[in-house]
Structure 1
Amino acid sequence: MAELTNDISRTAELVVSGSRLVTPQGVRAGHVLIAAGRVLAVADTDTAPPSAKRIDARDAYVLPGLIDSHVHFRTPGLTHKEDWEHGGRAAVAGGVTTVLDMPNTVPPTLTEQALRQKAALVNGRTLVDYGFHLGVDPERPELLASLDPAVARSAKIFMAGHHTAPTVLREPAQLQKAFAAAAEGGVQLVLHAEDDSLFALLDGWWGEPGSYAEYEARRPRSGGIVAVAKVIELVRRHGTKAHILHLSSREEADLVCAAQNAGLPVTFEVTGHHLSFTDEDTHRLGARTRLSPAIRSRADQDRLWEAVWAGQPTAIGSDHAPHTVEEKTRGVRQSPPGLPGVQELAVAVWTGMRRRRPDEHPDRAAERLVRLLGSGPTDLFGLTGKGRIEAGSDADLAFLRPDDTWMLSAADVRSKCGWSAYEGWTMAARVTRTLRAGRVVWDAEDGTFGEPDGRWLTPADKHGGL
């Protein structure tokens, strides 16, 4: 073994050293030996040749490059809000090196051809590696049965509509066909699980929300509870793999956990926004924290944090969905739901962890963060080479400096929209450097970025490629 390690070390081109490497075996001191964009080994000693470049992370946590499996980078058709250049910068400034992009663009990406066309638009323009969730066409849900896994392995269903969700599966027959086809094709479904017909029924009685004080009540938890129950029954019937996005209430969390206990292949995501804000913030901030599903009560937020501590979610996502300031300052009924978040995601969740459990050893928080933003989404979506610091993985690394407190302002925002719901927050950590494929793509010390040569990750090529 020592001889093999020496042979490996002689080929190393870069060594990242630190006292807090977050590996699958736990947090440890050591050296990450890197060549050709891959991790060769995680070693106790630095035996690389003198010619190798060296980076000392000191006491920062060295995380695997983080994965945000829920972003809206708005290409094509909505690039006045966001684009892959700005979205990629926001991502790496937050330690995120891989994203999975949603299909509700203009036009929506509902076919394999549309996804290939999107990949061609993104190629050479972004700092992050990327994949796509296919959109499910309400008129042709049967397409999921023959989806080429080299193009996408997951597909998004909207069960409720809003300003930027034009393709909604409202009819029970459409959902039945989609779940059956996805099971046949081995496709992982990801779902916006709110019941559109229930909201329409309530709007016909109450009318749409007229103020942010009543926004959450007019987009109530019952919409999510009803939809999640429908999803569980469809999974039970067809055996389809289903992942509930941006789960927002304690009842939904309980339902999914009960389904998992019964052996059903249902998982869920929580967002940084639902962990960070409550409906009281929406009363105060208005459109800045207007989401779909709505941000709910403090009791719901507490239940979502309990889920995080218990390891119940498979992933945390940002649901990075920027809109312009002009769009967000329209009237209550015209302002679209959604806010940016890929840049703030890791530090906001870390901040919440440390403030809610200040006595917990920070190593445990770092390991939890890596499960939810690393190995969890990696395993769910088959992202080979991602989410772990180990031999053979992609050399994607993020340096998180704990206890580096700072106040976030609009000047820090890298998203094209130029604003953040977290403005004025004092964060409890900072991402100081990010590497993708062994190259620095973000350095906070001088505010510089690397080359926008992120890759389309496809199962046909384990480490990506068009």
Structure 2
Amino acid sequence: MDRLTARPDLVVSGRRLVTPHGVRAGHVLVSGGRITAVTDCAPPGAAERLDAGDHYVLPGLVDSHVHFRTPGLTHKEDWEHAGRAAVRGGVTTVMDMPNTLPPTLDPQAVHAKARLIEGHSLVDLRFHIGADPARPHLLAGLDPSVATSAKVFMAGHHTAPTVVRDPVVLDAVFAAAARGGVQLVLHAEDDGLFALLDAWWGEPSRYRDYERHRPRSGGIVAVAKVVELVRRHGTRAHILHLSSAEEADLVCAAQAAGYPVTFELTGHHLSFTDEDTRRLGARTRLSPSIRSRADQDRLWRALANGEPATLGSDHAPHTVAEKSRPVAACPPGLPGVQELAVAVWTGMRRRWPEEDPDTAVRRLVRHLAQTPAELFRLPGKGRIAPGADADLVFFAPDTPWMFSAHDVESKCGWSAYEGWTFTGRVERTLRAGRTVWDASTGTFGAYDGRLLTAADSTRPAVAHAAAREG
């Protein structure tokens, strides 16, 4: 029997399905965890039916920048708690960073980490392997079934185990990644510049001084180095948590010149300014620092213009005790995977209230589902289309609600967004055609998320410009 005429396991109906071709009414047919068709007419038989009504039906969101803390740091976070936070935020796929204990620096560590997580994850997952300054050659022969991307820390902080400080080694990392077709993802701040400033100023003792001790110049210098290395080697480079106007201009200029360099915006750099850090202190101590309102405005303009490739949470929880340390000893980072989509959506609706909601939601899906799935070769993710995984999110775009500590799913138990009134709420999240979060009952689904492998070992021909606003 043809798969389009076979009885589906599930039919999801709605008046606002967000597909690659636009927002439309219709029915999503699901069999064996995959979408078999998106149709105008539902078939008469199905094992299960779900009606989204006027809620948007989004593809499952992809957060390509999380620190879920397994192994070795599970006193801060673990995969059960982090997965609950993710699916409550509409995220069904995450890409986890390598700065754990031990760090994920080679295929053996990746496999060991996967074994620890198996049976504990509500979300599907992939790992960024760490670029090891002692073994940059590993990237030249990296098996894409292990990882298709490598994290480079250009500056150190409390949880950065392998910082690439030597420019000769950094050049070797870029060269090896180019040979292996590996996507580099970079914490692009200049460690030497920060060391120079620390020797002159000393360590910060007040949060109102924090941004001055980790200034924009660190990011600008590092991004300029990345652009030069991309020019030299042709390496694909993705700048994480871009924080300043000058960095955005540099990357966009490099893109215009044809360099394969892209960037990520985080929810917290779009949501907070340095004024919030003065007020909230450790809760918004980040690396890179939260910048000025002018920088925040430039990042929002970037999103309006379709310039970033991805939106990411940089979900990096720490305990309250760790965040209560003196300023210089307090680790940077905050939880954010649960808050990411609603925080960005809330900001979009407040900044651009006249924008057509269908246009706005397609922008959110482009940068938080479609493009990260393409950039990191996540087969079946990021779209509502035949052949894709049946990862679906029912999103109520106009629902106002206050986010409180009671809502926090992260094991750390706190959020910088406590007290915020969000617009938009995730009502249901499905992964592989099964509900993993239902807001009406407050219940979660099965902890059987799977480790994703690359669709193939070839370099993807995905032009970033194609993901921009038309």
Q: Which category describes the TM-score, using the shorter chain as reference length?
A: over 0.9
Note if contact 1:158-1:165 (Cα within 8 Å) is conserved in structure 2.
Answer: yes
- Tell me the secondary structure at the aligned position of residue 29 of structure 1: strand
* Distance in 1 between residues matched to 2:106 and 2:161, nearest whole Å: 15
Note if contact 1:10-1:47 (Cα within 8 Å) is conserved in structure 2.
Answer: no
Note if contact 2:436-2:445 (Cα within 8 Å) is conserved in structure 1.
Answer: yes
* Distance in 1 between residues matched to 2:153 and 2:7, nearest whole Å: 48
Indicate yes or no: 2:15 matched with 1:19.
Answer: yes
* Distance in 2 between residues matched to 1:112 and 1:226, nearest whole Å: 32
| Aligned-residue offset at 1:446 | 1.1
Q: Identify which of 248, 251, 254 aligns with 2:249.
A: 254
Note if contact 1:10-1:48 (Cα within 8 Å) is conserved in structure 2.
Answer: no
* Distance in 1 between residues matched to 2:310 and 2:114, nearest whole Å: 24
Mark the CA change 1:319 to 1:424 in structure 2 (over 3 Å): closer, same or farther.
Answer: same
Alignment correspondent of 1:35: 31
Alignment correspondent of 1:169: 164
Alignment correspondent of 1:98: 93
| Aligned-residue offset at 1:98 | 0.1
In the TM superposition, 1:347-366 aligns within 5 A as: 347-366=342-361
Alignment correspondent of 2:468: none
Alignment correspondent of 1:209: 204
Note if contact 2:379-2:455 (Cα within 8 Å) is conserved in structure 1.
Answer: no
Note if contact 2:378-2:455 (Cα within 8 Å) is conserved in structure 1.
Answer: no
| Aligned-residue offset at 1:52 | 2.7
Q: Which runs of 5+ in 2 are unaligned?
A: 458-470
Indicate yes or no: 2:419 matched with 1:412.
Answer: no
| Aligned-residue offset at 1:238 | 0.5
Question: Which consecutive aligned stretches of 4+ in structure 1 deviate over 4 angstroms post-superposition?
Answer: none
Indicate yes or no: 2:372 matched with 1:377.
Answer: yes
| Aligned-residue offset at 1:10 | 3.0
Letter of the aligned partner of 1:14 in structure 2?
L
Alignment correspondent of 1:134: 129
* Deviations, residues 79-118 of structure 1 (Å, cap 9, x unaligned): 0000111111100000000000000001111011000000
Indicate yes or no: 2:267 matched with 1:269.
Answer: no
| Aligned-residue offset at 1:232 | 0.3
Note if contact 1:15-1:48 (Cα within 8 Å) is conserved in structure 2.
Answer: no
Letter of the aligned partner of 1:132 in structure 2?
F
Letter of the aligned partner of 1:237 in structure 2?
R
Q: CA RMSD for the aligned pairs? A: 1.2
Q: Identify which of 92, 103, 125 aligns with 1:108.
A: 103
Q: Identify which of 278, 284, 301 aligns with 2:279.
A: 284
Mark the CA change 1:48 to 1:33 in structure 2 (over 3 Å): closer, same or farther.
Answer: farther
Alignment correspondent of 1:429: 424
* Distance in 1 between residues matched to 2:207 and 2:52, nearest whole Å: 44
* Distance in 2 between residues matched to 1:41 and 1:102, nearest whole Å: 34
* Distance in 2 between residues matched to 1:459 and 1:424, nearest whole Å: 40
Q: Which runs of 5+ in 1 are unaligned?
A: none
In the TM superposition, 1:223-372 aligns within 5 A as: 223-372=218-367
In the TM superposition, 1:174-213 aligns within 5 A as: 174-213=169-208
* Deviations, residues 314-337 of structure 1 (Å, cap 9, x unaligned): 000000000001111111011100
Matched residue count: 457
Letter of the aligned partner of 1:458 in structure 2?
T
- Tell me the secondary structure at the aligned position of residue 299 of structure 2: helix
Letter of the aligned partner of 2:359 in structure 1?
R
Q: Identify which of 36, 43, 47 aligns with 1:47.
A: 43
- Tell me the secondary structure at the aligned position of residue 327 of structure 2: coil
* Deviations, residues 434-455 of structure 1 (Å, cap 9, x unaligned): 0000000000111100010000
| Aligned-residue offset at 1:9 | 4.0
Note if contact 1:33-1:48 (Cα within 8 Å) is conserved in structure 2.
Answer: no
* Distance in 1 between residues matched to 2:196 and 2:271, nearest whole Å: 30
- Tell me the secondary structure at the aligned position of residue 237 of structure 1: helix
* Deviations, residues 110-152 of structure 1 (Å, cap 9, x unaligned): 0110000000111111100000000011111111111111100
Note if contact 2:79-2:121 (Cα within 8 Å) is conserved in structure 1.
Answer: yes
* Distance in 1 between residues matched to 2:374 and 2:93, nearest whole Å: 14
Note if contact 2:377-2:455 (Cα within 8 Å) is conserved in structure 1.
Answer: no
* Distance in 2 between residues matched to 1:216 and 1:400, nearest whole Å: 36
* Deviations, residues 242-282 of structure 1 (Å, cap 9, x unaligned): 00000000000000000000000000000000000000000
Letter of the aligned partner of 1:173 in structure 2?
V
- Tell me the secondary structure at the aligned position of residue 208 of structure 2: coil
Give me the TM-score of the superposition, normalised by structure 2. 0.96
- Tell me the secondary structure at the aligned position of residue 333 of structure 1: helix
* Distance in 2 between residues matched to 1:129 and 1:229, nearest whole Å: 34
| Aligned-residue offset at 1:382 | 0.5
Letter of the aligned partner of 1:38 in structure 2?
R
* Distance in 1 between residues matched to 2:258 and 2:388, nearest whole Å: 31
Give me the TM-score of the superposition, normalised by structure 1. 0.97
Letter of the aligned partner of 2:161 in structure 1?
P
